Amino acid sequence: MDSSRQTKFLVAAVLLLLVPRFSYAIPAFSRQYGTSCTTCHIDFPKLNDFGKAFKDAGFKFPKDDESFLKAPPIMLGAPAQAELWPHTVYPGVIPGLPPIGLRYNTFFQQASANRNNFNAVLPVGTVGTFIPKSDFQPGLFSIFTAGNFGSGISFWVDDDISVAGANSNGGLGDGWVKFNNISRLFKLPTDSLSLRVGQFELDIPFSQARTWNMSGWDIFDEANIGVQNGLAPLQNVNNGFAFSSPAVGLELSGGHAYGGYHYSVAVVGQNTSGAAANPPNVSPQNGVAFASDSNFKDLYGRFSYRFNLERDKASRTDIQAAGATGPRDHTSLALGTFYYYGRSVQSLSGVLADGVTPTVLTAREPFYRIGGDVNFNYRTFNLFGVYLAGHDHNLLPVTSGEAEGPTGFVVSNPATFSGGFVEADYLALPWMMAIMRWDVVKSSADRVNFIEYDPAAPPSSSFFSPYSATRNRFTPGVQFLIHANIKASFEYQIRPKQIVYDPATGTALTQPFRTNLATAGLEWVY
Amino acid sequence: MKRNALVGLIALAALTTAAYAGTIHGKVSGVSGESVVYVEAIAGKTFPAPAQHVLIDQKGLMFAPHIVAVAQGTTVDFLNSDSVAHNVFWISISGNKKLGHNLGTWPKGQKQSFKFDNPGVVPLLCNVHPEMAAYVIVSPTPYFATTDKSGEYKIENVPDGAYTVTAWHEGAKYKSNPVKVAGDTTADFTLSK
Ligand SMILES: [Cu+2]
């Protein structure tokens, strides 16, 4: 069990280090409306206020959408058919042009000289993992499709075609349908209630799946996985949940991203262990497996409020503020909070109280994530951040007396982590955005995973690990729009301090060091 | 009744001017679509600013019409017919950056006016929608015409005399030719990119 967790952690660490993120802009909309990417994006895929309103409206212009469509939608039934309902299929539309966007990116990366220090833990003569000094990466080819079916029903599917794996590492990203503004059916205020069904990134304050950064924010990638070792306090957490993974379920939401309140409440399936059941006696719908590993469904909620700060009321409440020389994004301050509650499942073989009869012991550990966020915008300067705290109950398997295996669980110190990020984006020119980021993660699980390594109690093996309980990362970057749909990005990740110990003796094999990484990327969407 | 009288008056005026003025007509070739042909400034002659306003609409994320020819001194009304914010600005008039101007932004259904006192080519842009573009060709004389799609044009009521006549087409090099107008005169232009 330990070694598999270590592998998981190692793989995650390597992926975090090496795989640049991907991002989206939707050329399908550009085609439907005959307009530039910059109508909705500042340095795509970062949305401007108009883009946020377009998204809130279900991928439609907030008002008079039909008058902007360059290719009229195809009617799936004349609008007058609606009067016949329920004796006919309710009329809808599909986009007049296939709503397909494509994206490709390619990378070059350069790692610092000490990048192979981890091989020092291997016995002499063992072939280790080789990280090249520089590397060309093919990147990803993705297809994404999104649009509106009429009656406020919008849809989104994105998929990475070229890379093996799933979720944020390739494969299906988001795939959902959203019933926008169902509040109108209940005579509630416009846009106060929408329903989304499918696979989606949780409504986190800043999208990791559609981030403009080359590397994602560390805190949204943080899973609470802690191996058991000789260090106190003991822990037994194997909770693969991270905000960057897509969730599957239902979401109710309302409000607007460009001003005023916004909320969402979601009920999602959980699979914190990574194990999917594939039983022979039932046929799961996808023909492969069940997606959840528990009866319990996890809950997520978010509330935020954005204050637009213009003095003039018309300007303040409009989608964009009226500037002296043309509309611009609002000067605004947004505050938000979010909360996730779930249970992580860990099953292991144990014995009954008699000490011999085999049984399966299952820990259903409650866990929560709670966070707050702030987002300040002044003209082309955007300062924002997230603080997130995670808490897992931490049930430890115990063996009573002379039993041949674990007989139950006891509550130990919770496995917690906290951290977040602060980022400043400055759009110096319409085609150039400078970025400075500080990511921080402080994790008890990470600490026990060899971080504050105790030479008196050597661990059984060694692997990639931060040097201290707190991982800091500074990431300056700059991005250039070569065209509205072609972007060159640069990022320099100043990584956390690390150290390599001899797993047998606990002797430090290296001085503390950092493996910094410079990445250059080229991305185009069409 | 009143209207008939007015039409009659206009017809009479046209007849009297026709007695001493000529017509320039011809074809602009080498390019496709609409071009603008106008008579350059005439030494010692000024013209009163036309009272009639000309309208340019912003509708469906497009300027309409795309090309507008007006006489110097004409006031153009810019209307926003869209429920999104637009803007109108130009960085120069015939390359003169000192004549650049930004009209700002205004809501649906409202107009903003500008009097074009300087002749030249005004490339209109919107700073929200970079794909939006239009041209106002401010003719220094009231003798101008927009060609039809095939390039044919006709400028009427041009007094007999010697002039410089310019043909302009979006994206092509403009061409100025000397033209001696005596009654019905032909002037063809061949433009190239
Ligand atoms: Cu516009």
Q: What is the pLDDT of residues B161-193, one digit of tens each?
A: 999 999 999 999 999 999 999 989 999 999 998
Contact A47, A55 (CB under 8 A): yes
Contact B70, B137 (CB under 8 A): yes
Contact B132, B86 (CB under 8 A): yes
CA angle B184, B186, B190 (to 5 degrees): 160
Cα distance between residue A391 and residue A415, in whole Å: 6
Query: Cα(B132) to centroid of ligand 1, in Å?
Result: 6
Q: Does B102 touch chain A (CB under 8 A)?
A: yes
Residues A262-281 as b/e (b if ≥16 CB within 10 A, e otherwise) read bbbebebbbbbeeeeeeeee
Residue B39: what pLDDT?
A: 96
Which chain B residues touch A320 with a CB distance below 8 Å?
85, 128
Three-state DSSP state, B115 = strand
Specify the range with the lowest mean pLDDT, choosing from A51-65, A497-511, B22-36: A497-511
Residue A1: what pLDDT?
A: 34
Instruction: Compute how many other C-beta atoms are within 10 angstroms of the C-beta atom of residue B114.
Output: 17
Residue A285: what pLDDT?
A: 67
Cα distance between residue A58 and residue A254, in whole Å: 12
A256-265 per-position pLDDT tens digit: 999 999 999 9
Give residue limits of the domains in chain A: 3-63+99-525, 64-97
- pLDDT higher than 60, residue A22: no
Residue in A86, A196, A207, A202 with CA at minimum distance from that of residue A152 = A196
B48-140 classified as CATH 3.30.1330.20:
no
Mean pLDDT confidence for A343-369: 90
Q: Does B89 touch chain A (CB under 8 A)?
A: yes
Whether A322 sits inside 8 A of B105 (CB atoms) is yes
Residue of A nearest to B103 (CA): A325
Whether B60 sits inside 8 A of A67 (CB atoms) is yes
User: How large a percentage of chain A has pLDDT more than 90?
Assistant: 50
Residue A340: what pLDDT?
A: 98
Residue of A nearest to B130 (CA): A36
Place of tokens 């929560």: A368
Q: How far is B80 from chain A (nearest CA, A)?
A: 13
Mean pLDDT confidence for A190-211: 95
Residue A226: what pLDDT?
A: 77
Q: What is the mean pLDDT of chain A?
A: 85
The beta strands (E) that lie in A309-414 are given as: 321-323, 326-328, 332-351, 358-378, 381-392, 395-398, 408-411
DSSP annotation of A107 reads E
- pLDDT higher than 50, residue A17: no
Cα distance between residue A35 and residue A29, in whole Å: 8
Query: Cα(B136) to centroid of ligand 1, in Å?
Result: 17
A456-498 per-position pLDDT tens digit: 554 444 444 555 567 788 999 999 999 999 999 999 999 877 7
User: How large a percentage of chain A has pLDDT more than 70?
Assistant: 85
Place of tokens 């949780």: A202
Residues B148-184 as b/e (b if ≥16 CB within 10 A, e otherwise) read eeebebebeebeeeebebbbbbbebeebeeebebeee
Three-state DSSP state, A488 = strand
User: Which residues 6+ apart lie within 8 Å of A367 measured at CB?
Assistant: A224, A239, A241, A341, A342, A343, A344, A390, A391, A392, A393
Q: What are the percentages of helix, strand and coil residues in chain B, rounded to 5?
A: 10, 45, 40
User: Which residues 6+ apart lie within 8 Å of A82 measured at CB?
Assistant: A90, A91
Residue A227: what pLDDT?
A: 66
Which chain A residues touch B85 with a CB distance below 8 Å?
318-320, 322, 326-327
* Phi and psi at residue B167, to the nearest 5°: -115, 130
Query: Cα(B127) to centroid of ligand 1, in Å?
Result: 7
Cα distance between residue A65 and residue A44, in whole Å: 22
Residue A225: what pLDDT?
A: 83
Residue B12: what pLDDT?
A: 41
Whether B105 sits inside 8 A of A327 (CB atoms) is yes
Asked whether this complex has an ipTM greater than 0.90, the answer is no
Whether A484 sits inside 8 A of B127 (CB atoms) is no
Instruction: Compute how many other C-beta atoms are within 10 angstroms of the C-beta atom of residue B130.
Output: 15
Residue in A175, A148, A146 with CA at minimum distance from that of residue A159 = A175
Domain boundaries for CATH 2.60.40.420 within chain B: 48-140
User: Which residues 6+ apart lie within 8 Å of B90 measured at CB?
Assistant: B99, B100, B101, B122, B123, B124, B125
Mean pLDDT confidence for A61-69: 90
Q: Which CATH architecture has domain B18-43+143-193?
A: Sandwich (2.60)
Tokens of A68: 């902007």
Mean pLDDT confidence for A392-404: 87
Specify the range with the lowest mean pLDDT, choosing from A4-13, A356-365, B80-89, B133-142: A4-13
Cross-chain CB nearest to A68 (options B61, B107, B128): B61
The residue among A33, A67, A316 with the most chain B CBs within 10 A of its CB, best to mutate, is A67
Residue A465: what pLDDT?
A: 52
Render each residue's pLDDT in chain B as its tens digit; 193 residues.
344 444 444 444 444 444 467 899 999 999 999 999 999 999 999 999 999 999 999 999 999 999 999 999 999 999 999 999 999 999 999 999 999 999 998 889 999 999 999 999 999 999 999 999 999 999 999 999 999 999 999 999 999 999 999 999 999 999 999 999 998 999 999 999 8
Whether A326 sits inside 8 A of B83 (CB atoms) is no
Q: Where are the alpha helices (DSSP H) in A307-430?
A: 313-317
- For the entire predicted model, the pTM comes to 0.86
Cα distance between residue A376 and residue A423, in whole Å: 11
Mean pLDDT confidence for A296-309: 96
CATH of domain A3-63+99-525: 2.40.160.10
Residue A228: what pLDDT?
A: 62
Q: How far is A173 from chain B (nearest CA, A)?
A: 30
Residue A163: what pLDDT?
A: 56
Contact A410, A219 (CB under 8 A): no
Q: How far is A39 from chain B (nearest CA, A)?
A: 6
Residue A522: what pLDDT?
A: 95
Whether A326 sits inside 8 A of B104 (CB atoms) is yes
* Phi and psi at residue A344, to the nearest 5°: -100, 135
Residue of B nearest to A50 (CA): B84
Mean pLDDT confidence for A209-225: 92
Domain boundaries for CATH 2.60.40.1120 within chain B: 18-43+143-193
Q: How far is B111 from chain A (nearest CA, A)?
A: 14
Residue A124: what pLDDT?
A: 78
C-alpha of B63 from chain center: 15
Residue B179: what pLDDT?
A: 94
Place of tokens 């926008």: A180
Question: Strand B144-146 relative to strand A517-525: parallel, antiparallel, unpaired?
Answer: unpaired
A255-288 per-position pLDDT tens digit: 999 999 999 999 999 888 877 777 777 776 666 6
CA angle A515, A116, A450 (to 5 degrees): 70
